[in-house]
């Protein structure tokens, strides 16, 4: 389920619960720090409040997704200032983006998905093999623009993207997690102006989220 396609349904449901539910009290038992005058102006139904908070947490969790745009390639490379800093033959080239609310578990989850996602053909030419199965190359390239919000207007918003410091840290930790299980891991350079070249084999492209 993609959060944005269902956000308004969830929001409407929350509004219905919070506005239509019966008032079972003033809320002083839930918010004892409020003075009686304040709590009397803020009627709270404890049976309605917690479902609303749960739904808010659900929405918040759904937007916390580290992104990997995976492409199956017969070759890929990254050049910075005329120097090739990363190059692979057959394997995967993955563009990586970090959201501001991503957590440490997202690093491990994305690494696991990249390394084990079945995109390479087996003996029957079905996509049943992974990077780890075949020991192929992996080129990881940071690309914060994947975290953009493009729903409105003609200019992207990056309010949900991680700050550069966090983005770089999480990218480097993703690289380390992948190198711990696969020998042939190459990378781009965070914050650099990179020229990325690839030959997409298929073409085969997948959008992975944690």
What gap in Å lies between CA 73 and CA 185, rounded to an integer? Answer: 14
144 flagged as catalytic: yes
**Residue linked to tokens 């079945």:** 118
Mean pLDDT along residues 67-96: 98
User: In the structure, what pLDDT confidence band is assigned to residue 202 with cuts at 50, 70 and 90?
Assistant: very high
Q: Count each helix (H run) and each strand (E run) in the chain, helices first.
A: 6, 8
CB 81 within 8 A of CB 194: no
What gap in Å lies between CA 168 and CA 177, rounded to an integer? Answer: 14
What pLDDT is attached to residue 2?
45
Residues 6+ apart with CB under 8 A from 84: 77, 78
Catalytic residue (one of 144, 171, 187, 210): 144
Catalytic residue (one of 145, 150, 195, 205): 145
Residue 42: CB atoms within 10 A of its CB come to 13
- Which top CATH class is 67-209? alpha beta
* Phi, psi dihedrals of residue 15, rounded to the nearest 5°: -60, -40
205 flagged as catalytic: no
Catalytic residue (one of 13, 26, 143, 206): 143
DSSP state of 149: B
Digit-coded pLDDT (tens) for 2-44: 444 455 555 555 555 555 444 444 444 444 554 555 444 455 5
143 flagged as catalytic: yes
Q: Is 72 exposed, middle or buried (0-12, 13-18, 19+ CB in 10 A)?
A: buried
Digit-coded pLDDT (tens) for 107-128: 999 999 999 999 999 999 999 9
Domain locations in the chain as residue ranges: 3-62, 67-209
Angle between helices 164-179 and 104-116 (to 10 degrees): 40
pTM: 0.72
């Amino acid at each position: 389920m993609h959060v944005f396609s269902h956000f308004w349904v969830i929001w409407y449901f929350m509004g219905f619960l919070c506005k239509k539910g019966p008032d079972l009290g003033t809320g002083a038992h839930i918010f004892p720090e409020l003075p009686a005058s304040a709590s009397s102006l803020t009627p709270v139904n404890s049976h309605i409040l917690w479902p609303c908070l749960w739904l808010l947490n659900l929405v918040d969790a759904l937007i916390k997704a580290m992104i990997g745009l995976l492409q199956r390639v017969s070759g890929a490379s990254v050049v910075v200032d005329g120097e090739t800093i990363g190059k692979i033959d057959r394997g995967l080239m993955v563009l990586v983006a970090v959201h501001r609310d991503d957590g440490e578990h997202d690093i491990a989850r994305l690494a696991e998905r990249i390394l084990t996602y079945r995109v390479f053909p087996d003996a029957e030419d079905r996509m049943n093999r992974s990077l780890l199965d075949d020991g192929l190359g992996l080129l990881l390239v940071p690309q914060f623009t994947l975290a953009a919000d493009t729903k409105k207007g003609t200019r992207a918003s990056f309010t949900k993207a991680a700050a550069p410091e966090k983005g770089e840290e999480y990218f480097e930790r993703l690289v380390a997690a992948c190198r711990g299980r696969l020998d042939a891991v190459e990378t781009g350079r965070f914050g650099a102006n990179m020229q990325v070249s690839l030959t997409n084999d298929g073409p085969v492209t997948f959008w992975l989220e944690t």
